[in-house]
């Protein structure tokens, strides 16, 4: 279905169905009882840590672009925050279209280079996810830490992360050669072969702009820091609710929860995050269903507050500096 508005309507219907299933699985009274935080300090810590994570990712985006164009830190932050807001509000990756448009129109970066650098940016996020899940799987497999989620679930999540990361790495290493081979050309339809070739060439070209080892180490360190900050914020959620969940278990659960945002979902990930998160917290961490549901609703509300608030500030800043106009934003949507 190429029409994005039809996809949005179907995603919204799916989210509504998942909300219905979620509310059927736990009573409203029990949900409200487990929703109110017992301590307010960890709630403010969640907001602060989430903001710090966004600041670190903006710095990584700025450093990542050095091989293509020079971008100031504030503009990188505002573009990243607006991208996240659009991805959050319109579940067809409208934010990625904004980054491509910004790089091409405002920074004169060719579309192929812009597409490749966006893919590389996501690859660094996958590095953080795969790293956490790898360490957790080893600890669980050796029996060193039995408080972690199930080994089977972590291995499945790790396999998905490694598969996506491997696809990007292979695009860099052998993508153009494979796409140009005769057997691939015969196997695929012409339009698919053209898209595969363009994608592989774009990602390989973007990877060539990463520079030396020092810059690569800086990007990896920023990715690890961002993942750690997100995990600490998620751990603060359980502290706010008075739940005893180990820090590393919270970190592993948080990176696994990211997969709920990859599935087709309603605007704001409404439904998929509540249903998927409740299932994960109740099965992986052994929390009662009502407790897990209350924790996920609170987490979703705080995340939405940060995404919307920072995103609106970012849109205002980009408009005031002439980087983005409302008409351009509407065309992207």
In a domain, 51, yes or no: yes
In a domain, 185, yes or no: yes
- In the prediction, which pLDDT does 148 show? 72
- In the prediction, which pLDDT does 183 show? 63
Domain count, the chain: 1
- In the prediction, which pLDDT does 1 show? 45
- In the prediction, which pLDDT does 62 show? 94
E strand spans, the chain? none
Give mean pLDDT, residues 107-124: 87
- In the prediction, which pLDDT does 185 show? 67
pLDDT in tens, 160-186: 888 888 877 777 776 666 666 766 667
- In the prediction, which pLDDT does 72 show? 92
- The residue with greater pLDDT, 145 or 95, is 95
Separation of alpha carbons 121 and 95, rounded Å: 14
Separation of alpha carbons 270 and 43, rounded Å: 21
Q: What angle do CA 13, 164, 181 make, to 5 degrees?
A: 115
- In the prediction, which pLDDT does 123 show? 87
The candidate with the shortest Cα–Cα distance to 29, out of 304, 296, 293, 301, is 293
In a domain, 137, yes or no: yes
pLDDT in tens, 1-16: 456 677 777 777 877 8
Separation of alpha carbons 142 and 175, rounded Å: 37
Structure tokens belonging to residue 49: 């840590």
Residue 321: how many CA atoms within 13 Å on its side-chain side? 13
Question: Does the pLDDT of residue 63 top 70, yes or no?
Answer: yes
In a domain, 191, yes or no: yes
CB 203 within 8 A of CB 170: no
CB 122 within 8 A of CB 143: no
In a domain, 7, yes or no: no
Q: In which domain, by residue range, is 94 found?
A: 29-332
pLDDT in tens, 209-238: 887 788 889 999 999 999 999 999 999 999
pLDDT in tens, 65-99: 988 888 999 999 999 999 999 888 876 667 788 88
Average pLDDT, the chain: 83
pLDDT in tens, 235-292: 999 999 999 888 888 888 888 888 777 666 778 888 888 888 888 888 878 888 889 9
To the nearest whole percent, how much of the chain has pLDDT over 70? Answer: 87
Question: Does the pLDDT of residue 100 top 90, yes or no?
Answer: no
- In the prediction, which pLDDT does 283 show? 82
In a domain, 125, yes or no: yes
- In the prediction, which pLDDT does 94 show? 72
In a domain, 15, yes or no: no
- In the prediction, which pLDDT does 177 show? 66
Measure the N-to-C terminal CA separation of the chain; round to a whole number of Å.
16
In a domain, 123, yes or no: yes
Instruction: Give 156's contacts (C-beta < 8 A, 6+ positions apart).
Output: none
Q: Please give the model's pTM, rounded to 2 decimal places.
A: 0.84
């Amino acid at each position: 279905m190429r029409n994005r508005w039809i996809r949005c309507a179907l995603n919204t219907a799916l989210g509504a169905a998942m909300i219905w299933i979620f509310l059927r699985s736990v009573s409203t009274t029990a949900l409200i009882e487990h929703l109110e935080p017992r301590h307010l300090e960890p709630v403010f810590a969640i907001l602060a840590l989430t903001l710090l994570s966004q600041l670190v990712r903006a710095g990584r985006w700025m450093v990542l672009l050095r091989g293509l164009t020079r971008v100031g830190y504030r503009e990188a932050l505002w573009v990243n925050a607006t991208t996240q807001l659009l991805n959050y509000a319109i579940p067809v990756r409208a934010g990625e279209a904004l980054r491509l448009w910004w790089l091409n129109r405002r920074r004169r970066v060719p579309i192929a280079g812009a597409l490749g650098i966006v893919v590389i940016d996501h690859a660094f996020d996958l590095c953080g996810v795969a790293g956490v899940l790898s360490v957790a799987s080893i600890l669980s497999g050796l029996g060193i830490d039995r408080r972690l989620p199930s080994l089977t679930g972590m291995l499945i999540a790790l396999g998905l992360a490694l598969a996506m990361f491997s696809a990007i790495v292979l695009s860099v290493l052998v993508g153009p050669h494979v796409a140009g081979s005769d057997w691939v050309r015969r196997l695929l339809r012409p339009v698919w072969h053209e898209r595969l070739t363009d994608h592989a060439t774009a990602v390989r070209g973007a990877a060539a702009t990463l520079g030396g080892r020092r810059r690569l180490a800086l990007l990896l360190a920023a990715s690890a820091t961002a993942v750690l900050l997100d995990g600490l914020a998620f751990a603060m959620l359980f502290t706010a609710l008075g739940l005893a969940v180990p820090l590393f278990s919270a970190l592993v659960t948080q990176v696994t929860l990211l997969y709920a945002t990859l599935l087709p979902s309603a605007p704001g990930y409404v439904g998929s995050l509540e249903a998927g998160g409740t299932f994960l917290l109740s099965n992986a961490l052994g929390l009662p269903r009502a407790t897990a549901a209350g924790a996920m609703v609170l987490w979703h509300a705080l995340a939405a507050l940060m995404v919307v608030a920072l995103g609106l500030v970012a849109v205002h800043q980009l408009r005031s500096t002439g980087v983005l106009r409302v008409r351009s934003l509407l065309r992207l949507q």
